[in-house]
């Protein structure tokens, strides 16, 4: 079983949804740098204030800050059972820092799951995306509606649209993906860790395919 996993793919490819499915199925720790920043923003911490100034524009939070929070999180005891990195690494310095760190703490990366998705579909998914403010469950205004409008099926929390899920910030985010994150696919292919899946098959089939692969 592969248990230390990186999930990669452009914004809207379905990393967060797949991470939540895999986390419950395989008892893995879900580490989403985006969620960690959003929690810091909600809590009003200095990290949150700093992160917000980048996130709202669609820009990347500086490497030293992002690497610092992942370093701290990955060293915690619960990560021994296996972890899913969702949204990290996004730059080459982050990937290099992770490589060093995973050796230091003896938690080597077993596989990088890359989700492939075309641009039109990404824009459609992101512009209709809604998220539960309380538990983070993902919804979509057309393809994944809650039973009651604006209310989470799972916990009853209110649904909202992320501040960076607008057309302008999305263009910037996709630009960062192409410039800074996509080159990491070569980095991980060279390490022999890369495995690509088509996210257009839909979330349930994608989950089945990835699960089967992880069990091998």
To 10 degrees, what angle do helices 46-55 and 63-74 make?
130
Return the range that interacts with ligand AMP (CB under 6 A); candidates 52-60, 74-82, 186-194, 201-209: 52-60
Tokens representing 166 are: 């607008």
Q: Which residue of the set 20, 125, 129, 130 is catalytic?
A: 129
Number of residues that bind ligand AMP (CB under 6 A): 18
Please answer whether residues 96 and 13 qualify as being in contact, where contact means their C-beta atoms are separated by less than 8 angstroms.
no
Q: Radius of gyration over alpha carbons of the chain, in Å?
A: 17
CB of 74 to ligand AMP, least distance (A): 13
| Alpha-carbon span 62 to 64, nearest angstrom | 6
Our CA angle for 59, 60, 62, nearest 5°, is 130
Binding to ligand AMP by residue 33, rule CB under 6 A?
Answer: yes
The site map against ligand AMP for 111-150 (x = CB under 6 A) is ----------------------------------------
Kind and range of the H or E element at 99?
Answer: helix 92-104
Q: Where are the alpha helices (DSSP H) in the chain?
A: 15-26, 33-43, 46-55, 63-74, 92-104, 119-127, 167-176, 184-190, 203-215
Q: Which of 18, 19, 60, 111 binds ligand AMP (CB under 6 A)?
A: 60
The site map against ligand AMP for 2-31 (x = CB under 6 A) is ---------x--------------------
Return the range that interacts with ligand AMP (CB under 6 A); candidates 89-97, 108-116, 145-153, 196-204: 89-97
Give 146's DSSP letter: -
Tokens representing 158 are: 């209110």
Q: Which is nearer to ligand AMP, 171 or 208 (CB)?
A: 171
**Residues labelled catalytic:** 15, 90, 129, 162, 173
Binding site for ligand AMP (CB under 6 A): 11, 33-34, 37, 54-55, 58-61, 66, 87-90, 94, 164, 173
């Amino acid at each position: 079983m592969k248990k230390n996993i990186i999930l990669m793919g452009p914004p809207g490819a379905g990393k967060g949804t797949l991470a939540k499915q895999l986390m419950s199925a395989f008892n893995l720790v879900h580490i989403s740098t985006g969620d960690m920043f959003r929690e810091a923003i909600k809590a009003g911490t200095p990290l949150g204030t700093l992160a917000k100034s980048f996130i709202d524009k669609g820009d990347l939070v500086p490497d030293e800050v992002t690497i610092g929070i992942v370093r701290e999180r990955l060293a915690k005891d619960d990560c021994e059972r296996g972890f899913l990195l969702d949204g990290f690494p996004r730059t080459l310095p982050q990937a290099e820092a992770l490589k060093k760190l995973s050796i230091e703490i003896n938690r080597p990366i077993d596989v990088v799951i890359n989700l492939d998705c075309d641009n039109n579909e990404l824009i459609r998914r992101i512009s209709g995306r809604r998220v539960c403010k309380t538990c983070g469950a993902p919804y979509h205004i057309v393809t994944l509606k809650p039973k009651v409008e604006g209310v989470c099926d799972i916990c009853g929390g209110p649904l909202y649209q992320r501040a960076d899920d607008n057309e302008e910030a999305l263009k910037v985010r996709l630009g960062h993906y192409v410039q800074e994150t996509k080159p990491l696919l070569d980095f991980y292919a060279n390490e022999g860790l890369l495995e690509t899946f088509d996210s257009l098959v839909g979330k349930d089939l994608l989950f089945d395919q990835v699960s089967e692969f992880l069990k091998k």
